[in-house]
Amino acid sequence: MIDIAALRADPDRVRENIKKKFQDHKLPLVDEALSLDTRRRALQTEGDALRAARNSLSKQIGALMREKKLDEAEKVKAQVTADAARLAEIEKETEEVSARLKEVMMRIPNFVCAETPVGKDDSENVERQRFLEPKVPDFEVPYHLDILERLQGIDIDSARRTSGQGFYYLTGDVARLHSAVLAYARDFMIDKGFTYCIPPFMIRSDVVSGVMSFEEMDGMMYKIEGEDLYLIGTSEHSMIGRFMGQTIDESKLPLTLTSYSPCFRKEKGAHGIEERGIYRIHQFEKQEMIVICKPEESEMWYDRMWNYTVELFVSMGIPVRTLECCTGDLADLKYRSVDVEAWSPRQKKYFEVGSCSNLTDAQARRLGIRYKGANGSAYAHTLNNTVVAPPRMLIAFVENHLNADGSVDIPEVLRPYMGGKEKILPRS
């Protein structure tokens, strides 16, 4: 959510930002917000005047009563009663106008970074850097589900019977690999100075609306029937919500946190070509990183965070590249975002395995997260980034470490988490 003062000062800048995100249907929101803001301020002015007059009239009534001017006192009392009725009307209308203004402001997208490429969708994202040389082996790389099944590491059919499409069982060494990667990612981030957290896996609606746009909420979140609770789509949701309504001492910033959680997503409208595998699923686990910092530090942390993900994948011998997300591919709250993509030897192309985002103060304004120092208080900046999400990582892992005999090599950094195992062997 942007600052209403920025909208008042330069509404054309807000309109241009909406156009950059190819959301022209939201342009009327600018005029509506300005109109609501004007009305709210007018009501505030009128209400303040009536409150001030009430004090003055109360004193007049006392003076007139002492002077035995009862008729005049009754007239002033009538004025006080009329003013009180009008004040009640003002307070009710102010509440209604303020609620609608907040709703409108929450639908206006955050300002995008000047460096963000302008484009309609993810097809216009811009490659920035590559890390490790992508390779294609001299043997055919099977589909990732076939590789995992030959390792006796996955059971999709049973999951369909118990839970439906978009779920899976992991078994044996593949399940162990899944846990090993998460444990390695956890320790990797702890070594970078991040504090490890395990958050609640359900959050209330006021947290959901604080961390994401209404469109994202509809497309992602599972609601618990009969309760004001939602299953989290990523631990970022509950991790940022932890600081809702708080003012953090400036000396405690930045807060650098790494969190583990299962993630639950509808993936509404996202199923398609990869439906048979585990590229898009409804439940998975993830190691995340969160930073809450002062505004002047957020861009530094943005660069540092996505570099940590790159470093992690490179340490496991998986080639990756970074893509700067274009304006049309940015969710409403994001100022800028970079995707980390891993190399797929089977497809001979890269695919997304993580995303790093700087949301500036958009989430903080929605949730009331401030910091206070010698120069007063201000809204904090929030950032999030995927350290690793094993389902997609597993695809990249088994394809890049597959041998011609069907075995999968275990990189040295993961062997301590795999009991010293150097390979996962296929089973008959």
Domains and CATH numbers, the chain: 4-107 (1.10.287.40), 122-424 (3.30.930.10)
Contact 181, 408 (CB under 8 A): no
Crossing angle of helices 28-66 and 70-107, in 10° steps, is 160
The pair of structure tokens assigned to 171 is 């078994």
CA distance 143 to 347: 9
| List of the chain residues with pLDDT < 50 | 271-273
Strands 230-231 and 202-203: antiparallel
- Residue 70: per-residue pLDDT: 80
CA distance 15 to 27: 6
| Other CB atoms within 10 Å distance of the CB of residue 372 | 13
CA distance 2 to 361: 8
- The secondary structure element, H or E, covering residue 39 is helix 28-66
CA distance 280 to 137: 26
- The secondary structure element, H or E, covering residue 329 is none
Residue 418 CA, chain-centre distance (Å), reads 32
Contact 205, 277 (CB under 8 A): no
From the list 93, 96, 4, the residue with the least C-alpha distance to 47 is 93
C-alpha atoms less than 13 angstroms from C-alpha of 193 in its C-beta half-sphere = 8
pLDDT in tens, 282-341: 999 999 999 999 999 999 999 999 999 999 999 999 999 999 999 999 999 999 999 999
Strand partners, 197: 259
The reported pTM is 0.90
CA distance 302 to 297: 9
**Phi and psi based region of residue 7 (left: phi greater than 0; alpha: psi -120 to 50; beta: remaining):** alpha
- The dihedral through the CA atoms of 175, 177, 179, 181 has a sign that is negative
Q: What backbone torsions phi and psi does residue 199 show, to the nearest 5 degrees? A: -95, 175
Strands 230-231 and 336-344: unpaired
- Residue 268: per-residue pLDDT: 60
Burial class (CB in 10 A: 0-12, 13-18, 19+), 258: buried
- Residue 273: per-residue pLDDT: 38
